[in-house]
């Protein structure tokens, strides 16, 4: 995958609250092109696999249960400097500390139910994209 891509998913709290359209509008207005998109729901087991890097953390069990609690919208996005620019657009993990105008400031409910995910490196963007979208498909 080119390094101008990142992976995101709109999390269950934001889908449940009806924020999908507003969030996608903000993503597109920030200059990201949607390369791939779908609606799906994780099992607790797959949710745990996705966040396996956090398996030693105290919040791991709650996190994987929460991420499997409802539908999500995974997407592959394209833009110059995609990973860093997207992390800036979504804001800090804890919405109370997120900058004004960021997606988490506008739409997140809590540290856990924080509306949206953004990959933290080019390498993880590729791994996470392959977790949700078949690698043989052309986008
Ligand atoms: P992602 O883009 O979702 O990976 O978030 P992040 O990179 O900003 O944060 P991190 O990877 O450290 O944590 C992954 C997810 O775990 C967060 O987005 C939250 O949903 C959840 N999380 C992180 N820290 C806490 C915490 O202290 N308590 C709880 N309940 N959830 C947490
Ligand atoms: Mg993370």
Query: Please, what is the Cα angle at 32 between 13 and 2, to 5 degrees?
Result: 110
1 pLDDT above the threshold of 80: no
In 3D space, the residue among 124, 43, 54, 48 whose CA is nearest the CA of residue 82 turns out to be 124
Tell me which residues are annotated as active site: 117
pLDDT of residue 68: 98
Could you say which ligand is closest to the alpha carbon of residue 87? 1
Domains in the chain: ranges and CATH: 5-40+71-132 (3.30.70.141)
Alpha helix ranges (H) inside the chain? 12-16, 20-29, 44-50, 60-67, 82-90, 103-107, 122-132
Summarised one tens digit per residue, pLDDT across range 30-63 is 999 999 999 999 999 999 999 999 999 999 999 9
pLDDT tens, residue by residue, 66-107? 999 999 999 999 999 999 999 999 999 999 999 999 999 999
At residue 2, does pLDDT exceed 60? no
139 pLDDT band, cuts 50/70/90, is: low
**Measuring from atom 6 of ligand 1, which residue has the nearest CA?**
93
Question: Closest Cα to atom 20, ligand 1: which residue?
Answer: 112
């Amino acid at each position: 995958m080119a390094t101008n891509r990142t992976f995101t998913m709109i999390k269950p709290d934001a889908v449940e609250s009806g924020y999908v359209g507003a969030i996608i509008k903000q993503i597109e207005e920030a200059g990201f092109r949607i390369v791939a998109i779908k609606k799906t729901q994780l099992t607790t087991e797959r949710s745990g696999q996705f966040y396996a890097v956090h398996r030693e953390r105290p919040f791991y069990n709650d996190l994987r249960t929460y991420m499997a609690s409802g539908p999500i919208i995974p997407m592959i996005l394209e833009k110059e400097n995609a990973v860093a620019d997207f992390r800036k657009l979504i804001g800090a993990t804890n919405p109370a500390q997120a900058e004004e105008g960021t997606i988490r400031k506008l739409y997140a409910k809590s540290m856990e139910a924080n509306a949206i995910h953004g990959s933290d490196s080019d390498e993880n963007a590729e791994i996470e994209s392959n977790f949700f979208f078949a690698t043989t498909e052309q986008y």
